[in-house]
């Protein structure tokens, strides 16, 4: 806990837990995107 508080200059344990949960959600979203890799075809023209 102390290391987590020092890394991001977090002041409270609650902030550390919230930051950890945000990271967990972000990682889960990235995993879901990676699972779609090669399964979804994107139209390159739509991004121009």
Q: Express as a percent the part of the chain with pLDDT over 70.
A: 100
Average of pLDDT values for 4-31? 91
d(CA 34, CA 39): 10
d(CA 37, CA 30): 11
Question: What pLDDT, on the 0 to 100 scale, is given for residue 40?
Answer: 80
Q: Could you state, in order of their start, the residue ranges of all structural domains in the chain?
A: 1-30
Strongest mean pLDDT among 10-19, 20-29, 31-40:
20-29
Structure tokens at 20: 């950890």
Query: DSSP 3-state assignment of 8?
Result: coil
| H helix runs in the chain, sequence order | 2-7, 13-35
């Amino acid at each position: 806990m102390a290391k987590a508080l020092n890394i991001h200059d977090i002041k409270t344990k609650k902030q550390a837990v919230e930051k950890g949960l945000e990271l967990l959600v972000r990682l889960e979203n990235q995993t879901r995107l990676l699972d779609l890799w090669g399964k979804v075809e994107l139209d390159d023209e739509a991004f121009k």
